Structure 1
Amino acid sequence: MSRQAAQARTGVVGTIRDRLLVNALADPDEAARVLPPGLRPHITGDATVIGCCLLTIEHIRPSVVPAALGLSLVAAAHRISAEWDDELGATTVGVYVPVRHTSSRPAQVVGGRWFPGVHLPATIRTASDGEHLRWTVEPRFASDRYGIRVQAQVAAGPATEPSEPIGGTCLAASVGLSPDRRGTLEAARMEPEHRTAQPVEITELDSGFLAGFTSIRPASSYVMRDVRVRWTRASAPSAAAEGAAA
């Protein structure tokens, strides 16, 4: 069995301590211009959900490795809600992730090689007192314009599965597509043990990615906490993979 085949079967596991989903809405036509061929914007209401996903993960490791040997990391990803058709014509709804960042050197090395997800280097600072979250993402390279600064206040009350459409869209997405080191699309599937979250109020936001959309408007945002997750390889749509590599 090849290394990739074995990894696809066993997957990578870890515990997400905080997953801050900063959401916004954009005009689907504008979102479509950012997507590679073979993908189209997924429409929620009259718009497409886009945003930033900020993660603190502990004990991340191949599933056959003990938790004590896992790594901790912080990471940031930019997302566009998208859909595509598989080889049988069935529609899959997921997210397109044009860029990820991490301050973890191991994640920078293995991402896009041993497991899907190229991670660019960045200095990431995060702070939380339980009710307030603060993140700063400073990309290492001057040409990288995807910095983030965000502060959020967590709503009181227990975590629940969001009943409103935007929360449903961003939390239900399991498959993420992103460019590999050759520019071809690769896919990863995220399977959390639950999809409950708490609403957050975004009190400060500066995102180079979101600023690139002229039609942007705020949307409901959420935080997931203390959830065990498994990541496995998934199949990228062939049309999208070919178009991304062209």
Structure 2
Amino acid sequence: MHPRLTKFFSGAVTELRGAYEKSEGSPSPCMGSLREEGVRRAIEHCLPGVARLCEGEIIDPYGGQSGQIDGIVVHSTGSALATSPSGSRIALAEGVLGVIESKSNLTAQWNEVVHTWKAVRTLRRYRDGDNQGTWTLGSPHPSDAAIPLIAIGRTGWKKPDTLMEKALELFQSHGTSEAPPPVLVIQLEPAGLGGVFWKDNNHYEPQGIIYDEDSRGRTLSTLWWMLTSRAQAMMMTPIKWTHYLAP
């Protein structure tokens, strides 16, 4: 990684650790929500410039509805309706780059991550034959119809194999015949990640890594890479307005 990016993302990890520490001792609804200003600000630093982070719910053109989600990453061209600038939003699936689930302790709160994944994994962007949107980097991957999940926790597991197994658990529980979206599990102490990424249309690769302290920034740089690549690959996805607005 470029030395400048190493410094940037290492600092971002330090900032995010501090934000989690400040939230400790708060009432559970405050501590567990991305609305907590420090956690939100630290994560936003690692998002691509064309993305914004909001809370609310996601709906899709097939009648799907996620329920309340604290971290929705929306493309700048995507639609996310709200009654006020800081209010809870209704995000249309076509503009959602991913969902971020933030936890203090991934080990203790893993069931909550799974619960959020169950709400998100059934949602689908509109796709109709060859009318799959305007793409800048080739044809869309089959998994692009679904919405990725990124789980971030201050603490987690000690072994990289466990991180990989947790990411695979989410990936393989997608529950449809379609290709599951990428899944990323990040922990800050010890710094590490588990992820499942597509290598091509037919092969995916699970990963599990525990980093030394000097390489801690690679956790959040992977988040940035994953969302930036997704944003760059897709300029827009057509919205089937008749599905959303029909009587």
TM-score range normalised by the length of the shorter chain: under 0.3
- Which structure shows the bigger proportion of residues in strand conformation? 1
Q: TM-score, normalised by structure 1?
A: 0.26
Q: TM-score, normalised by structure 2?
A: 0.26
